[in-house]
Amino acid sequence: MNRLMTLLAATMIALVSLGAAVAPAQAQEPLRLTLRDGVIEALPFALPNFQAEVAGSEQMAADISRVIAEDLNGTGLFRQIQSSAFISTPAGFGSPIEFADWRAINAQALITGAVAVNGSQVTVKFRLYDVFSGAEMGQGLQFAGTTDSWRRMSHKVADAVYSRITGEAGYFDSRIVYVAETGPKDDRAKRLAIMDYDGANVQYLTDSSAIVLAPRF
């Protein structure tokens, strides 16, 4: 188990209370404990906006960074450190990391990345660092695709980060198939639709002329 996962697990604190008054020692009554609650302290991570490696990539770089952060924050296991707390940011994707600056704001994980948009194509690459050990976690990854697939690439980055820290498979690149209903109550139109796990990228797979009861695989 890597160091970050050990820290994450160590923050799970069981709050206990005595279930009964302590009896005299000679009575040999068993000690009864009642588990009341559990608390998980989210792991703080820093994610500077991914850098635009090509002019005109700035907005997509910011959007990709935002979606990755939303994915991780939404799990309850991670907490993003706001950029206003940053002491420094990497000068470039391959630039040395000033780990002392990130330790000073209590970041335990650092995610850096870069985005390049060339026409209808986009390339996204990232690296994940364990701040306190000053080491990269795994190798950097790169994803490439069309510009309309940028959200899916964002989810793939979040999946990789989640997996490397927790040891469990990520789920952000999941898609949901469902029946979308529109129209008045007595004349509902049903269409089969698919969307990202977070409700984005809705696509209709059938039109209202088809009879749709439920998805079938």
Cα(177)–Cα(134) distance, rounded to whole angstroms? 42
The string of pLDDT tens digits covering residues 3-23 is 666 555 555 443 334 343 444
Report phi then psi at 65, rounded to 5: -60, -40
In this predicted structure, the answer to whether residue 206 has a pLDDT above a threshold of 60 is yes
The string of pLDDT tens digits covering residues 118-160 is 999 999 999 999 999 999 999 889 999 999 999 999 999 999 9
CB of 42 closer than 8 Å to CB of 67: no
pTM of the complete model: 0.76
Cα(147)–Cα(62) distance, rounded to whole angstroms? 14
Cα(4)–Cα(128) distance, rounded to whole angstroms? 12
Task: Locate the domains of the chain by residue range.
Answer: 43-166, 174-217
Give the per-residue pLDDT at 175.
83
The CATH code of domain 43-166 reads 3.40.50.10070
Task: Please list the alpha-helical segments (H only) found in 96-190.
Answer: 99-104, 150-166
Residue of 86 and 188 predicted with greater confidence = 86
Give the per-residue pLDDT at 188.
76
Residue of 170 and 213 predicted with greater confidence = 170
Average pLDDT of the chain is 84
Cα(119)–Cα(125) distance, rounded to whole angstroms? 18
